A and B are shown apart, each in its own frame.
Chain A
Amino acid sequence: MAGTLPRQESAGPRVSGRVRPALPGLILLAALVAAWFAVKYGARVPDQQMPAPLQVLREGWAARGQLVKAAASTLGGALAGFLLGNAAAVLAAVLIASSPAASRVLVPFALVVRTLPIIAIAPLLTLLLGNGVITIMAVAAIIIFFPTMINTVLGLRSVPLEALELMAVANASRLEVLWRVRLPTALPYAFSGLQVGAATCILAAMVAEWVTTGTGLGYLILQAGVQFDVGLMWAGALVAAVLAVAVFALTGLIARRVIPGELADAR
């Protein structure tokens, strides 16, 4: 996570120009930290419920090696799951949009999988896939599959009738229609699914880690909570949030490459 964010800020002489768009964000961040201080010391919340910001920083820094290692483990599983889940979701969406029979089977199946509490599936997946990064990847893929699939199906079905008629007049094959009309139309929709998945994949990886592998941020947060190490627990949660924001920013980068026009500035 350290790689993606700071690089933008080290842009030399153009720094002021780059900082300006980030200003509202910085103000919001400062306000949040100020509110944290105010609530902590104003209402005298006990450490158990809310540790002081400095305590979180201090304990997080003291455990930095542990945090970085855990974050790397979580990020690896989450990113692999992100790629796999989205690829599978787009494939399923193409099937669903092109065949009503596939839609009758796949949509309810995806829904059933989506509603099974991951805590119930994870032990089963551990039995099948072992106690490693593969299981984390599978859990993340399963959880992010659904939003991307739903959105991509909507996108594939949102093609204007006129465009399809034009393709029919031009005697285009179904594959050509898919490639030249349907997929381009579906891109912004699929991108929405990616954005949801970006935040969710970190969360899913942490749940999987908690249940199965005993590594990564998920396990660290849980372990810290059990041992009443509140500072470390909050530090872990903060790192998780930073990771999620980083993956989210990554989807923005991808979108700017892939989706033309106005969408590009949608972050």
Chain B
Amino acid sequence: MTRRIGLLLASGAVWLALLGLWWLIAALEKGPATLWPTPAQVASALWGLHAAFVQNAGTTLGEAALGFAVGVVLAVAIALAGERYRPLAGSLHGLAIGVYSLPLIALAPVLVLWTGSGLTTKVIIAALASFFPVLINLTQALRTTDENALELMRVGGASSWQAFWRVELPYALPMLFAAFTVAAPAAILGAMLAEWVGANSGLGIQLLNSMQNDDVPQLYACLAVASMLSLLAWLVFTLLGRWLCPWHAWLRLAEAQN
């Protein structure tokens, strides 16, 4: 128990040191003082505009969540299709990489031409930004399922659907949730990027506006809120993953260490 408290103190100290370093740089900056606001300035920008931040963060989070959901469905569909019809897997993945590697900044204006600057563009961009890690991790997990467990299912006369539901999916869960922790921040970033092309509210548009108005404290506050959202998403999926996979090695490992 004391070890745990010591640990918490140590990591807290590192974060405080980083904050102190930031403050020091901001205080030493003698120039026009626009690039490095002090943490206090950022905090006051955050507090002064908290209503706007809550509203904009809500908008972005909604877009990102929708896009994330679409991206996950897409990724699961492609991964399952590729594993069911193995010869197709290579070309499906090639197609997925091709789409994923299109520069979203160049794609966003084209999408706006096609679908208008409403919610659709943001959801598509967020989905494109987030589907790929899920596809790769799920495919890898499906390919590394314990052969003995699958063999047992076959011997027991299970259908391929039952084998998937009872063996392959549970085996894939840890990797799937690891992918979610990568994909969720990507979706938030994608939604913000899409807002740059045109939006009424959202963190991305607030970031762009504060950049154009040279309001640096507000710019930093936007970045802080975006980071906060991503941390939250990461935390949710990490905890959910641990809760859903209590049998996985990492938990037994943690118990053994304590």
Contacts and interface: CB of A to CB of B under 8 A. Distances in A.
A263 B144 contact: yes
Query: Which 4 pairs show the lowest CB-CB distances between chains A and B?
Result: A25-B91, A244-B101, A104-B11, A157-B250
Contacts of B249: 157-161
Interface string A168-207: 0000000000000000000011011001101110110011
Contacts of B98: 241-242, 244-245
A54 interface: no
B140 A117 contact: no
B-side interface mostly: helix
Interface bracket on B = 35 or more
A244 B7 contact: no
Contact of A111 (B99, B101, B227, B256): B227
Interface of A is mostly: helix
B24 interface: no
A192 B105 CA distance: 25
A210 B223 contact: no
B136 A196 contact: yes
Given A151-B137, A157-B250, A117 B226 contact: yes
B248 interface: yes
Nearest to A149: B182
A6 to B, nearest CB: 15
A3 interface: no
Interface in A134-177: 146-147, 150-151, 154, 157-161, 164
A154 B174 contact: yes
Interface string B83-107: 0000111111111011111111110
B168 to A, nearest CB: 14
B203 to A, nearest CB: 10
Contacts of B234: 111
B178 interface: yes
B155 to A, nearest CB: 20
B182 A112 contact: no
A40 interface: no
B103 A207 contact: yes
A241 B167 CA distance: 35
Contacts of A235: none
A42 to B, nearest CB: 15
A222 B106 contact: yes
Contacts of B182: 146-147, 150-151, 196
29 contacts: A21-B90, A22-B91, A24-B91, A101-B11, A104-B11, A111-B227, A112-B227, A115-B188, A115-B226, A117-B189, A117-B207, A120-B219, A161-B252, A164-B256, A192-B175, A199-B97, A199-B132, A210-B105, A218-B103, A222-B105, A225-B109, A237-B106, A240-B102, A241-B101, A245-B94, A245-B98, A248-B93, A263-B144, A267-B90
A2 interface: no
B122 to A, nearest CB: 15
A52 interface: no
Given A21-B90, A25-B90, A233-B106, A240 B192 contact: no
B185 interface: yes
A117 B97 contact: no
Contacts of B207: 117, 120
A65 interface: no
A243 interface: yes
